[in-house]
Amino acid sequence: MFSISESFKFLDSDLINWKLVLGLLSTGKYVFDTYLKYRQYEVLQQKSIPASIKAEIDPNDFEKSTDYNIAKLKLSVFNNTYYLFQRLFTIRTNIFYSLWQTTGLLMSRAIPFLPQFMKGTITHSLFFYTTISLISEIIDLPFSYYREFVVEEKFGFNKQTIGLWLRDHIVGFALNTVIVNGVLSGLLKVFEIYGESFIVYATGFLFAVSLAFFSLSPFIGRLFHKYTPLQDENLKHQIENLASKLNFPKTNIFVIDGSSRSSHSNAYFVGLPWYKEIVIFDTLIEKQTTEGVVAVLGHELGHWKLNHIPKLMLIQLLDFTQIFGLFGVFINNKSLYSSFGFTESQPAIVGLVLYWIIKEPISSATRFVTNIFSRKFECQADEFAKNLGYQDDLSKSLLKLHISSSSVTSTVWLYSAYYNGHPLLSERLSGLGYISKEKISRETKSKPLKED
Ligand SMILES: [Zn+2]
């Protein structure tokens, strides 16, 4: 029978310096990311408005947008540089091994008090992983603080208090720990039971989990936001008309308090076979005309009508297959484990952590591919809204959204292909065939155009 680890036996060799390999891969990824950011920085520095949207953008808004994006870029390069050094430190030292030993020791003390099913390697693995993620969470706090309360604050986007920010971090971390531990224990069990043939089962398991989360998304959203049924009767009526025209099943329309965190705005729908809801950020309603909000929903429901969700799920399924297929190459690679101090035992969780570092260049490549699909779907949804007659309203909505969130900038194509799941504003406007008739700025609440 075909066995992945047998076929890649040559990778299980003491001649391979795995520490060097992981260090080089991490550094290579950093150099690539930073190069893209530097190219983008150069373009932003020029501060020239792309010709295609010159007529629509107020130069002051463009200037603000550019400054905001430069500030974000600098912060992310600083973050990444810090994380690279941290990564190289963890690779250089046998810190994973020390952590594995320490958590094992602590667990052995607790064993008499644990129920039978919690005495094995899986509990130890979860304990190990939770410790790593707790440390990362704490290290990340100052960066997150700076992002929200210095950068976002400076440009007027931060609307949250420190209390709320801290609460979101704590709730987020707690929720994440419960979820990740649940998923990990399932995966580790699959590795344990199925041995070499885990790939199909692990893929199936993770796919089932992601379907379950997708189903639970209305509940998860409510942990972070306050939902209120849409009050504006006129807007509600127009959205219901749009939904019934598209045969979108009867649905609840909610407004959420996006403004409690940030002034960035959005709208989306939840489309489960048995439950649908449309969710609109209060900031969107605040900034857009009724026609503008309806046009945005025309685009969103286009995603539903064109079956983009099942298609994205299929892409995810392929991605999981690729992830676990490749993990099959490393899960039993003794030379990899022993390079990091694990000479006697090879815990799968450690294999998974090391594998995650090895596969980063592949993740980058997959990112280019998934972005191609996601941009294609965005263009199709725009086209759909255009065919419904929202060409003008959607164009103005998009302009307004991009201007008010300061995301109108010039971009290097390679940077854009890597970082943007959405097409650029100029690309979307030309796709919509928008013809500029007025200048839109953050101050003007754009009115529907009079026929002339
Ligand atoms: Zn979209």
Q: Helix or strand or coil: residue 117? A: helix
Q: What DSSP designation does 345 have?
A: -
**Is residue 249 included in any domain, yes or no?**
yes
Kindly state whether residue 263 falls inside one of the protein's structural domains.
yes
Ligand 1 centroid – CA 284 distance (Å): 15
Enumerate the active-site residues.
300, 382
Q: Is 303 annotated as a binding residue?
A: yes
Confidence (pLDDT) at 26: 95
User: Rounded CA gap, 64 and 234, in Å?
Assistant: 34
Alpha-helical regions (H) of 225-289: 233-245, 282-287
Residue 239 within a domain = yes
Looking at the DSSP bridge assignments, the partners of residue 269 are 278
Residue 90 is assigned to a structural domain of this protein: no
> How confident is the prediction along the chain (452 residues), in pLDDT tens digits per residue?
567 777 788 888 888 899 999 999 999 999 999 999 999 999 888 887 877 677 778 888 888 888 999 999 999 999 999 999 999 999 999 999 999 999 999 988 887 887 877 778 899 999 999 999 999 999 999 999 999 999 999 988 888 899 999 998 999 999 999 999 999 999 999 999 998 889 999 999 999 999 998 899 888 888 888 999 999 999 999 999 999 999 988 788 999 987 766 666 688 888 788 888 999 999 889 888 999 999 999 999 999 999 999 999 999 999 999 999 999 989 989 999 999 999 999 999 999 999 999 998 888 889 999 999 999 999 999 999 999 999 999 999 998 888 887 777 778 888 988 988 888 888 898 899 887 666 665 544 443 333 33
Report the separation in Å between the CA atom of 84 and the middle of ligand 1, taken as the mean of its atom positions: 33
The CATH number of residue 261's host domain is 3.30.2010.10
Cα-to-centroid distance, 406 and ligand 1 (Å): 18
- At 167, the amino acid letter reads R
* CA 303 to ligand 1 center in whole angstroms: 7
CA distances from 66 to 162, 350, 436 (A): 27, 42, 22
Q: Which residues pair with 60 in a beta bridge?
A: none
Q: Give the chain's domain count.
A: 1
Give me ligand 1 centre to Cα 306, in Å.
11
378 carries a ligand binding annotation: yes
User: 446's torsion region: left (phi>0), alpha (psi -120 to 50) or beta?
Assistant: beta
Q: Is 281 helix (H, G, I), strand (E, B) or coil?
A: strand
In the structure encoding, which two tokens stand for residue 291, read together?
């026609």
For 278, the token pair is 């449309």
Q: Which residues surround ligand 1, an ion (CB under 5 A)?
A: 378, 381
Strands across the sheet containing 227-229: 227-229, 252-256, 276-281, 267-271
Structural domain includes residue 151: no
Backbone dihedral angles phi then psi of residue 227, each to the nearest 5 degrees: -100, 130
Q: In the structure encoding, which two tokens stand for residue 129, read together?
A: 């992983």
Structure-block tokens of residue 208? 């089932």
**Ligand 1 mean position to 4 CA, how many Å?**
39
Residue 84 lies in a domain: no
What's the domain range around 259? 233-287
- Measured between alpha carbons, how far is residue 423 from residues 14, 103, 134, 142, 264 in Å? 46, 46, 36, 32, 18
- Which class for 406: exposed (0-12), middle (13-18), buried (19 or more C-beta within 10 A)? buried
Amino acid letter at 85? Answer: F
Q: Which of 246, 241, 244, 294 is nearest to 267 (CA)?
A: 294
Query: Cβ contacts of residue 303 below 8 Å, gap of 6+?
Result: 269, 309, 377, 381
d(CA 270, ligand 1 centre) in Å: 13
Distance 296 CA to ligand 1 centre (A): 9
Q: Are strands 252-256 and 276-281 parallel, antiparallel or unpaired?
A: parallel
User: Is residue 359 one of the residues assigned to a domain?
Assistant: no
The rounded distance, in Å, linking the Cα atoms of 34 and 346 is 34
- From CA 432, how far away is CA 426, in angstroms rounded? 10
> 297 C-alpha to center of ligand 1: Å?
9
Strand boundaries in 155-288, DSSP class E: 227-229, 252-256, 267-271, 276-281
Sign of the four-CA dihedral 219, 221, 227, 231: negative
Is residue 422 marked as binding?
A: no
Helix (H, G, I), strand (E, B) or coil at 49: coil
Task: Answer yes or no: is 277 within a domain.
Answer: yes
